Structure formats: structure tokens, C-alpha cells
Amino acid sequence: CNEVELAEVLNVIGESKLAKSITQEPTQAKFLQGCLKICQKLSLRRLHFHQYGSYFLLTENNYIVPNKKLKQTLCYASIITAYKAKTGETKKKIDLDILYDLNRIDSRYTKSFKEIASVLEKEKIIYEEEFLLTGITQYHNYNLIIVPTLVINKPKYTVGLGDTISSTALAAEITLKH
């Protein structure tokens, strides 16, 4: 889901105060809190959240796919989505050279990625530097796996990129289960 969908689901499950707060003053801390509430209230094993700047997964601790593999699925989905934004198409085989001119990711990390790391450090969940190296940690009895967005200058295509990132990550994950 994205920020808008997150707030909509929170409203449906009775978390209207948090939903309103996310809508009025969105922060990474509120996004994490909202995703956690949804996972807990709906007993979800997996939730994918995408936004401009980063993508993350929350999964149960005993999730069937290991965290490092899940990170690989997010990285793969990020590349496919960046390619689609750049060219306007998806293919079975892509030319990675087309993505060579990607914005260098703000000294490797986007603002939202750094903000999430800061939130986790303030909550005494992680040491920020360690998290910035791996993008993987525990968050309130869930696994949190995050990767920064690959930003495309002057994209040819923007509609449905959230659907592309989510569905591609899930498809890649399903192939790892078999």
C-alpha cells in the first residue's frame, strides 16, 4: 500500500485518529506505526509499503522467506519499476545500461530511508549506522526490510508504479518459495 491506502485501511479497522494524523502530517514514524497496526489487527503475515524514497516489507518473524532473500526481491522490484518509469515499458529482459544515469541516491540513501533509520534508533530498536548498511531489522516482533527508491529524472511513465513495485516484489518472493 501507499500513504493514501494506508490511511484508508486504518480508518476501516478503527484507527481513525492515526489515519487522520497520517493524512495531515505524514511522517516515517506514523507510516511504520500504521503498518504495524494493520499487521497486528488483521493478523497479516506480510505487508508491503511503498512511497517516494523507499519501499519496505513487514513480515512475521517466522516468515517462510528469509530476510536477505526478501531484500533481494525488493531490490529486483525497484530495478524493474525504475526501468518502467524510465522507458514506459516492462520486458522479460531489460537493458540495465538504460538505468545508468539514475540519480545517485543521496549518498546512497534517500531522505525517507534515513528518517526511518532515525525513528528506529530513537525507539532503541537499532543503531542507525548498522541499519543503513543492511536495511534489515526487527520491529515490534516483525521483520522490517527496507530499500531506497531508485529515482528517475524525467520519467516517461508514473501511473501505476506503486502497483508495479508491489506486484513485482510479491512475484519475485513467490518464486523463492518454490
Among the listed residues 40, 5, 34, the one whose alpha carbon sits nearest the alpha carbon of residue 17: 34
Contact 16, 10 (CB under 8 A): yes
Phi, psi of 135 (to 5 degrees): 75, 15
Residue among 95, 101, 106, 163 flagged as catalytic: 163
Distance CA 5, CA 11 (A): 10
How many beta carbons lie within 10 A of that of residue 75, not counting itself?
17
Structure letter (DSSP) for residue 104: P
How many beta carbons lie within 10 A of that of residue 5, not counting itself?
12
Distance CA 5, CA 19 (A): 10
- Within 8 A by CB and 6+ apart from 132, the residues are 109, 113, 114, 117
106 catalytic per annotation? no
Active site (catalytic) residues:
163
